[in-house]
Structure 1
Amino acid sequence: MIDQIHSNLFKPFFNLVGVKGKIMGIAIILILLLASLLILESEDIFTQVLRHEVEKQGISLAQYIAVRSEDFLLTNNLFGLHQLIKDVMNNNQELAYILIFNSQGELVSDTFGRKIPKELIDFNQNFNQISSNQDYSSKTFRNEGGIIHDIAVPIWQGRYGIVRLGVTEVYIDQALTKLKYLLWFSTVLISFLGIAIAYFLANLINKPLSELVTATGKVGSGKLDYRVSLDWAEDELGKLGQAFNNMTAKLQRTAIERRKLWKELQKKEERRQYLLNKVIMAQEEERKRIARELHDETSQALTSLNLALANLENTDEQKKFNERIKMMKKTIAKVLDEINLLARQLRPSILDDLGLAAAVENYIKESSKYWNEDVGLHINGLIDTTLAKEVEITVYRIIQEALTNALRYAEADNISVIINNREGNLLVIIEDDGCGFDLDEVMNSDRTQEHLGLLGMQERADLLGGELTIETGEGNGTTVYVNIPVNDTSIIEEEFDD
């Protein structure tokens, strides 16, 4: 509660001026406080010194009068005595009075002329007494004129009497007035000098602070390349500027990386959306292909078989009958082979029964026979190894797509497939020494069938957290590298639906 009250009282005053005003205000307040303390302390010390000097001067004058008045008192020359104290009074304006008493304590000469103030007689009789063995006695009292230093000096050890004189502080007051003017004048000069120095220091401190405030606004508005130039400062402000620049540099790098990742994410999302939009089209194309295969091959073979059966009824000779039966068996075998091939292309059952190695080996064998092209195969690390179903179907489909492209377009003399399972990574390489192609041109072209096939391979690898790299060039052949982690089964849990 108290802290809240202090805070509410302090905040309005604190927020009246900026940092520069606060620094200058503090400097001015400190200068005025120090100057006031200096003036008061100097006045006290100077007053004590001057009072000591006044007392010494009064003692010297009293001793002088005591020595000179011996002869006048011895000869009872009151006129000479009076002339002596008159001369001393005229030559020393700070003296208030001079009194001379004889040995019986009677006043024989004074500077008042007519009547001595009663308070002075009482003071001399009651307060400032002196014995014969004292050199002097000094007391202080105050009257209407101010402070008086009353000094008593014995005349010839008190045998002839006593000299008493009063010394005022008029010169002390004048000296103190001059001293005060001098000190205040010096204070004003020092204050102006202090204000100038404070203004310089305030600007020196406020400049980097203002620059940091400006930089904060720039960075807040999105200008992450803005930097503060505080290299000249080697103190905490310089360190603050360096820390600010380091922070903005990290923010800039983070923003660049974020924009890069965002662009990559947008590109992947665009590719994913395109592939998803193509799913239905791909399904329809697959249905058309199956229908075409059934119509062009199976249907024609069955039609031919039907005609053969019709002609078989009109065949009388056993030999022709046997030949037609043999031809019909070949047609039936061909139809069965085509139907089996079509089924295996849709979903190879050997992949589920015997695993990836056997499925790839069987597919390469059939492809080599169909395309009349030898394909090399090297498999390492898959014996007695069970891979996740999604890994097996992904790798199989990538090999199927890459190998089909090589057999159909590459015009290669040598084609090879390498599968290597080692240290939790499945590495697949499909390479040929064919004509190759311009990868950038294909990837940046309109959505062709070749483009869609490459995107499909890339998407399959990405879904398993893997990497797919294609190295090719016109006349340099083509190599497809696929690297898929096989230990992290949490990447994708659901089975691929092909």
Structure 2
Amino acid sequence: MRELWQSLLRASGSLRWQIIALCVLPTLYLFASVVWYAYSARDREVREELRSHGQTAAVTLANRTAYALSQGQLTQVRESVQTLLKSDPEILSVTIYGEKRQPVLHETNGKTPIRPPDVLTEAVVHKPVYWVSLQQSGGASGTQPAMLNQEKIGTIRIALTAKQALAKRSQQFSVGILITSLALLVSMFVVAQLSGRLTNGLEQAMQAIRAIRQGERPERLVALDKGELGELQQSINQMSDSLDAARHRMEALVAERTRELEQSRNDAWAAREEIRHLLGRMHEAIEQERQSIAVEIHDELNASLVGTKLLAQRIVQLAQGGHQQSQQDIVQLAGQIAEISKSLYANGRQLVQRLRPEVLEVLGLAGALEEMLRVAQQSCPATRFEFEAQENWPELSERLAISAYRIAQEALSNTMKYAQANTFRLHLYAESNHLLMQISDDGCGFEPGQASQGIGLAGMRERVMALHGEIQIRAAKGVGCQIRVSLPLHGSQS
């Protein structure tokens, strides 16, 4: 029944038919249940009433004919039976049996065709006994003797038919069904009218909502009802007015914001030109510094290395001689090599200090990283390089800025050398007193457990650990690589 109800609601489709179904179907079900119960209970009630009526008639006839039957006056008994048959058309026949169950009298209702009886009732005929009440002198009543068992002298059986009672009940049942059917039809008509009025108002409201959803201004709804439907229509009108006003405000804000963005874009282009000019001058300075370092390496470091080589060869020759004087010379030469090595170390340290990226001092960390990606884009146009950084930056220490720059530089170098990526992304931001870098590419990837521990990843980890930071590297074959670096903003002062 539940599945049938749900299927009917789904098949009804429109709201109006659903309302009609919700109102009419339970009424029809109740109507059918009442009709079925009334029809099924009709026969049972008729038979119960007929049995009670037959039992009363049998007992009455038994009491009336007891004396005549005990005296053998069958003519008087027959007259009483015929009188009963004439007065009660529901009685088909009356049969009187004797003391030993032998038939004594059988009378039928000649007006009713012979048919099987619907109800049979019996009553026992007892021999009449009369009591005489004796009164003592003085006005005191005598005691009545105990009741004796009455003697059975016969049995009366009455056969009854339910035809007339059923016909009368059927007529009443038909009238009740007719009245109920008319009431049901009136109710269905009222439901159809009310549902039509309700669904028409809801349909207008839905059309207005569809227009609002499509960005159009709907026609104002005329609230005909004062109930919930009228309140809904008024609410839709108010919502339409509010949305229209909000649309105008939004258009004005968008126009103003567009003008601001255009001005910002023009300012950015102007600033970009200045930055390019500044970067050009910076690159010239870097090239000059590189040439200076190359000259210094050639003039000082190479000469020192050649001298060290000659001293080492002399030590080998003296060691092969095996003399005491040779050992002293070896010690002296070794001291000279140590002095040259010390000088080489000092010169190398100076060169390392000079090799610090100057772009950090000019543009800051975010600008230096953006410039690094711009240069990479020019050298590798097949890959798209994306950079994102927050606007306001806290003050960064020199050590932290250089480490972050070198980490990003190494990740970029690995991507360009090995990843064969289409896109390289670098996201730089500060959060919870930490400098965070999100680096990712969509290249061929690698297995971290099987990757060679070269100076690239190892150097990145060492830089992070030196600043007490954290680094997470996630990579797999065919899915690229993601690197997340977290460096504390405080406690990393150089």
**What TM-score comes out, normalization by structure 1 length?**
0.41
**What TM-score comes out, normalization by structure 2 length?**
0.42
